[in-house]
Amino acid sequence: MYSGVDGREMEVQIFFGIVYYQRLRHMIADKFQVRSTGAVDPVTNQPVQGRKRGGGIRFGEMERDALIAHGA
């Protein structure tokens, strides 16, 4: 093994293990959600909640910060 700092060879014991990959069952076709128009709550005038009802998704502080960081 070689040092990443100065390139010197080091005498150390190294353990190599088996790498295991597993495919996740989440598919983007099942996860995405869009909304341009749809039902609104008559009291708050906000979009209804839930994918089944064609509702909007919560846009939190972290999502807002990500858009600001990208200049949107």
Strand partners, 9: 2
Residue ranges per structural domain of the chain: 1-71
Torsion of Cα atoms, 28 then 39 then 50 then 24, to 10°:
0
Question: What pLDDT sits at residue 9?
Answer: 94
The C-alpha angle 15, 20, 21, rounded to 5 degrees, equals: 145
pLDDT digits (tens, 9 = 90+) for 4-60: 999 999 999 988 888 888 888 888 777 777 788 888 888 988 888 877 887 888 888
Q: Which of 45, 68, 47 is nearest to 57 (CA)?
A: 47
